[in-house]
């Protein structure tokens, strides 16, 4: 079997394969640069996982003042300050809380399964792209 492989694979073929792969990398990396929409991508996550507590009358709203029923409410932040730092998901408190980087008692959502990783990444990309109302 080894003899057969040696007979059919030429050194130039391996180099061509590596070159083709290297040429594809920017296209794969560009996939992460897709525009994330607040209305189409982020808001549905917030509505399904966060709004039940973070709306006027909800426990999360009463404790923090954070209203996640609208873009304006999200960007207004909490009674303690901003929750989103546009362009900076590393320091954005929204990302810290949903990605498990906060103290255990502060992780969101409380007493529920964490957001799925792909949901966290959608919100992270949206914040990185400037947290626009799009």
Structure confidence by residue, pLDDT tens digits, 47-67: 999 999 999 999 999 999 999
What is the reported pTM? 0.76
Exposed e or buried b for every residue in 39-59, given b needs 16+ CB within 10 A?
Answer: eebbbebbeebbbebbbeebe
Q: What is the DSSP letter of 113?
A: P
Domain ranges of the chain: 38-127
Residue of 56, 134, 60 lying closest to 94 (CA atoms)? 60
78-132 confidence digits (pLDDT tens):
999 999 999 999 999 999 999 999 999 999 999 999 999 999 999 999 999 999 9
């Amino acid at each position: 079997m080894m003899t057969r492989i040696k007979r059919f694979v030429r050194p130039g073929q391996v180099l061509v394969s590596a070159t083709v792969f290297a040429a594809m990398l920017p296209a794969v990396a560009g996939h992460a640069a897709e525009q994330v929409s607040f209305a189409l991508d982020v808001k549905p996550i917030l509505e399904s996982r966060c709004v039940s507590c973070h709306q006027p009358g909800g426990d999360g709203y009463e404790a923090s003042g954070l209203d996640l029923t609208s873009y304006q409410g999200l960007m207004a932040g909490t009674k303690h300050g901003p929750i989103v730092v546009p362009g900076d998901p590393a320091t954005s408190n929204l990302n810290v809380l949903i990605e498990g980087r906060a103290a255990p008692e502060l992780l969101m959502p409380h007493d529920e399964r964490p957001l799925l990783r792909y949901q966290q990444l959608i919100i992270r990309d949206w914040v990185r792209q400037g947290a626009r109302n799009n």
